[in-house]
């Protein structure tokens, strides 16, 4: 058994920020990070728009940012959490800069602030259109300077260790003692014991085939927490980003940042009609749920596969300076934004719900914490305000750090059994996993998309049961592999999304069910 004081599952902004803070403050304690891909692979790495933090206190205020967040969340944000996160923002951003992250400045030396949907002011601090790449780079650099942090890349967390794995333990009061982790290169399963475990395992985008997320976003942390019996909430609130690049073959869903609309781009249908003013006074800068639902409605009306983002009227030099990556990526697809409209379509982007945590990041299981996209803090309510996600991760990583710094440190001696895979075999038919994954993604796209109905959701449950049974049977017999575990996790998460969708009897934010109109 490997022993750590703090086990961190995930190396995006949430996991790395927490690890840096704990390791800096407690040089004698051991922080172990496990991450399933390359060390930088994460949703964080692809964040474009930036971090929403009030900076310009003449035009902007905490109050305005709070109000924008509450409006975007459509009435079900936790107001106390919203206030706390937004007021903490400037301090957390400063720390990130001390660790080496660079953000764009204006000609007066202040931050060059961007704007996105739902924001009433310019307040998005960014590094060109690759903010997440810069944040991830800086955090990894800091982590590698800290001797008490061990970062194990290509290590996949399979399950959390709780009383369910220990002999003679009362499963009424659950605690977490670490995790079983697959060393993906060696194919062996490690037992990592830890005093505190942090789930920082990110989102679920891959459950939908059409997503802006990279392939790591398979909801593993949420599924692990669910199997361990942690409280999970608000899973029906899937955020679809309105403007993912549309490709006829359905391959890439490269994101065209909302900041491009903040910069003045228009949404048009095939006929060239600018439709967003018909739906909302804020037009293209309405919150994301409204823009995605409006596009969905336009597509259903016209039978088209996509709409367009028109940047042709914008100052090209300024555009290229702010969005060099988007400009280049469009060129790769033979789209010259000076002349051509960009074909776009909504794609699954972010999960507003997740593992329920309090303001210290504590889950309903002792010694288990969650932070970042896998957690449900109450900040986002029914729809996340753009660029509030990186902010939330930074603030909650700090809160968990503060909480753990105050409680007394105890090294527990526990007899944790090793992973038992006796009787399992190396499966011959791995193609079945791909097959089931495709079925699951089609099911989520067709029945659990932007617009849902009870009939579609009930059909989805029935189809999902079949997939679930096949996957569970396979899981019991087969030697553990990453793809098999990811599929199993995605099935668990899909079950939560559909089940919690059926429980919501009113339309709010990102949740829209035709039967709730009746």
> From the CB of 211, what's the least distance to ligand FAD, in Å?
8
Q: Rounded to whole angstroms, how far apart are CA atoms 67 and 82? A: 9
Residue in this structure with the two tokens 């033979």, named with its chain if needed = 334
Does position 387 bind ligand SIN by CB under 6 A?
Answer: yes
DSSP 478: B
Shorter beta-carbon distance to ligand SIN: residue 17 or 148: 17
27 token code pair:
């040089």
Task: Determine the interface stretch with ligand SIN among 96-104, 173-181, 256-264, 425-433 (rule: CB under 6 A).
Answer: 256-264
226 token code pair:
């669910």
> From the CB of 215, what's the least distance to ligand SIN, in Å?
18
List the single partner that 148 binds among ligand SIN, ligand FAD, none, CB under 5 to 8 Å by kind: none
List the single partner that 160 binds among ligand FAD, ligand SIN, none, CB under 5 to 8 Å by kind: none
Q: What is the DSSP string of 447-502?
A: HSSSSB-HHHHHHHHHHHHHHHHHHHHHHHHBPP-HHHHHHHHHHHHHHHHHHHHH
Does position 491 bind ligand SIN by CB under 6 A?
Answer: no
> From the CB of 309, what's the least distance to ligand SIN, in Å?
12
Residue with the CB atom nearest ligand SIN in the bound state: 49
Does position 48 bind ligand SIN by CB under 6 A?
Answer: yes
* Contact positions with ligand SIN (CB under 6 A) in 306-365: 350
Does position 217 bind ligand SIN by CB under 6 A?
Answer: no
Residue 142 and residue 20 in contact, taking contact as beta carbons nearer than 8 Å: yes
Does position 370 bind ligand SIN by CB under 6 A?
Answer: no
Task: Determine the interface stretch with ligand SIN among 254-262, 363-371, 391-399, 507-515 (rule: CB under 6 A).
Answer: 254-262
- Residues 193-220, buried b or exposed e (16+ Cβ, 10 A)? bbbbbbbbbbbbbbbbbbbbbbebbbbb
Q: Catalytic pick from 288, 376, 452, 488?
A: 288
> From the CB of 97, what's the least distance to ligand FAD, in Å?
16
Does position 259 bind ligand SIN by CB under 6 A?
Answer: yes
Distances (CA, A) of 260 to 207, 255, 289, 308: 27, 10, 17, 13
3-class secondary structure, 168: coil
> From the CB of 126, what's the least distance to ligand SIN, in Å?
9
List the single partner that 209 binds among ligand SIN, ligand FAD, none, CB under 5 to 8 Å by kind: none
Q: Rounded to whole angstroms, how far apart are CA atoms 82 and 182? A: 37
Give residue 513's Cα distance to chain centre.
Answer: 23
Does position 49 bind ligand SIN by CB under 6 A?
Answer: yes
Catalytic residue status for 288: yes
3-class secondary structure, 224: helix
In this structure, are strands 31-35 and 2-9 parallel, antiparallel, or unpaired?
A: parallel
Residues in the chain: 518
Q: Rounded to whole angstroms, how far apart are CA atoms 10 and 363? A: 17
> From the CB of 431, what's the least distance to ligand FAD, in Å?
23
Figure out which of the listed residues 60, 159, 258, 284 binds ligand SIN, where binding follows CB under 6 A.
258
Shorter beta-carbon distance to ligand SIN: residue 385 or 457: 385
Shorter beta-carbon distance to ligand FAD: residue 32 or 42: 42
Q: Rounded to whole angstroms, how far apart are CA atoms 370 and 377? A: 9
Does position 218 bind ligand SIN by CB under 6 A?
Answer: no
Figure out which of the listed residues 197, 389, 399, 513 binds ligand SIN, where binding follows CB under 6 A.
389
Does position 220 bind ligand SIN by CB under 6 A?
Answer: no
Shorter beta-carbon distance to ligand FAD: residue 156 or 177: 156
Which stretches does DSSP call E strand in 36-187? 51-52, 113-114, 124-125, 149-153, 155-160, 178-183
> From the CB of 502, what's the least distance to ligand FAD, in Å?
26
Q: Rounded to whole angstroms, how far apart are CA atoms 169 and 416? A: 11
By CB under 6 A, name the binding residues for ligand FAD.
Answer: 9-15, 34-37, 41-44, 46-51, 131-132, 156-157, 200-203, 212-213, 216, 220-221, 255, 350, 372-373, 387-390, 393
> How would you class 186 by CB atoms within 10 Å of its CB: exposed for 0-12, middle for 13-18, buried for 19 or more?
exposed
Q: Rounded to whole angstroms, how far apart are CA atoms 344 and 330? A: 11
Q: Rounded to whole angstroms, how far apart are CA atoms 100 and 338? A: 34
Strand partners, 191: 180
> From the CB of 179, what's the least distance to ligand SIN, in Å?
28
Active-site residue set: 288
Residues within the interface to ligand SIN (CB under 6 A): 48-49, 257-259, 350, 386-387, 389
């Amino acid at each position: 058994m490997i022993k750590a004081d703090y086990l961190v599952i995930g190396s995006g902004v949430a996991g790395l920020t927490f690890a840096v803070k704990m390791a800096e403050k407690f040089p004698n304690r051991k922080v172990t990070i496990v991450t399933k891909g390359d060390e930088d692979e994460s949703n964080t790495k692809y964040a474009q728009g930036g971090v929403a933090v009030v900076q310009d206190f003449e035009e902007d205020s905490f109050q305005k940012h709070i109000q924008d967040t509450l409006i975007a969340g459509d009435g079900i944000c936790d107001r106390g959490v919203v206030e706390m996160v937004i007021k903490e923002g400037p301090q957390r951003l400063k720390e990130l800069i001390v660790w080496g992250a660079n953000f764009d400045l204006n000609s007066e030396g202040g931050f060059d602030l961007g704007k996105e949907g739902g924001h009433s002011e310019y307040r998005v601090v960014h590094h060109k259109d690759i903010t997440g790449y810069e944040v991830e780079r800086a955090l990894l650099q800091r982590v590698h300077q800290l001797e008490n942090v061990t970062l194990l890349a290509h290590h996949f967390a399979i399950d959390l260790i709780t009383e369910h794995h220990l002999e003679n333990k009362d499963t009424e009061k659950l605690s977490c003692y670490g995790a079983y982790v697959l060393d993906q290169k060696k194919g062996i399963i490690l037992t990592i014991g830890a005093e505190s475990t942090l789930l920082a395992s990110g989102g679920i985008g891959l459950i939908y085939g059409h997503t802006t997320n990279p392939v790591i976003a398979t909801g593993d942390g949420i599924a692990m927490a669910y199997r361990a019996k942690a409280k999970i909430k608000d899973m029906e609130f899937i955020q679809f980003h309105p403007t993912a690049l549309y490709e006829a073959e359905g391959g890439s869903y490269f994101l065209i940042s909302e900041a491009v609309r903040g910069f003045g781009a228009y949404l048009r249908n095939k006929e060239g009609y600018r439709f967003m003013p018909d739906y909302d006074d804020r037009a293209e800068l309405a919150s994301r749920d409204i823009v995605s639902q409006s596009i969905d409605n336009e597509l259903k009306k016209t039978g088209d596969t996509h709409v367009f983002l028109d940047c042709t009227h914008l100052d090209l030099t300024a555009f290229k300076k702010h969005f060099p990556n988007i400009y280049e990526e469009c060129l790769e697809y033979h789209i010259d934004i000076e002349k051509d409209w960009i074909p776009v379509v909504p794609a699954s982007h972010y999960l507003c719900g997740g593992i329920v945590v309090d303001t210290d990041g504590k889950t309903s299981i002792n010694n288990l914490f969650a932070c970042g996209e896998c957690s449900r803090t109450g900040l986002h309510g029914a729809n996340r305000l753009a660029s509030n996600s990186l902010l939330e991760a930074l603030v909650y990583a700090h809160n968990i750090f503060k909480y753990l710094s105050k409680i007394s440190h105890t090294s527990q001696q526990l007899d944790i059994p090793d992973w038992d895979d006796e009787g399992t075999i190396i499966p011959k038919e791995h193609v079945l996993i791909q097959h089931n994954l495709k079925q699951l993604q089609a099911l989520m796209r067709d029945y659990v998309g932007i617009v849902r109905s009870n009939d579609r959701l009930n059909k989805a449950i029935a189809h999902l049961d079949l997939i679930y049974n096949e996957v569970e049977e396979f899981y019991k017999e087969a030697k553990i592999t990453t793809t098999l575990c990811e599929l199993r996790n995605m099935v668990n998460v899909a079950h939560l999304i559909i089940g919690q969708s059926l429980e919501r009897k009113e339309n709010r934010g990102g949740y829209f069910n035709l039967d709730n109109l009746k």
